[in-house]
Amino acid sequence: MRVGDVVTLIAAAGAVVAVVAGAPTWAVWTTKILVILLLLLLAAAGTPGRYRTFILIGLLGAAVGDLIFLIPRDLFLAGVACFFVAHVCYIAAFTPGVGRHGAAIARLVYATLGVAMLAALWPVLDPFYRVALGVYGLTLIVMAGQAAGRWGIVKTAAARSAGIGAAFFYLSDGMLALDRFRANFPGARAAVLVTYYLAQWLIARSTDEARGELPA
């Protein structure tokens, strides 16, 4: 593990502690912005090319969404829209040379869990949220499936990092949705943040060795 990875994970741990412990607003914003900058630097240090570009744009989109959630107003859908953009960018990074091939079982698992999640949330969502979260959920399923497919075909450390990161992202968003709309559960905020930061760290570091894995 490189120094940049260690520093990023330590900063992420600090951000989680700040949020969970109810630290002052300035401390939460400072730690979160620090993690965002470190993730961007980590991704930017990877191999130049189409893959890195889309990962960087995706990280920026997620960063905006992450900060929107800190604003003391109900801007949930605005934040979701930013993460939607992030997932579209990740799909654009994971898809070339892979298409819809590879990891059929993983794709089926993601799709099945996604349908089950939407079914659990459906009764408590109004029509607008049903459409919005349905579109977002489908995009998340495709993103995670493409990452798994790429890992199955490319079989490199970078592809594995992205595949595992996408799985953590799927888990994080699933817990967030259940906690917000269905039933609060103890430790939800910490669990969502830990899996989210692991996801973004793994995806950011997947830009290393990206060149040469698949046609750009």
Point out the least confidently predicted range of 49-53, 101-105, 137-141, 193-197.
Answer: 101-105
Structure-block tokens of residue 113: 């869990």
For residues 147 and 162, is the Cβ–Cβ distance under 8 A? yes
Q: Structure pTM?
A: 0.92
pLDDT in tens, 115-129: 999 999 999 999 999
Burial of 186 (0-12, 13-18, 19+ CB in 10 A): exposed
Whether the per-residue pLDDT at 15 is higher than 60: the answer is: yes
Cα–Cα distances (Å) from 187 to 29, 92, 152, in that order, read 21, 33, 33
For residues 56 and 40, is the Cβ–Cβ distance under 8 A? yes
What pLDDT is recorded for position 210? 53
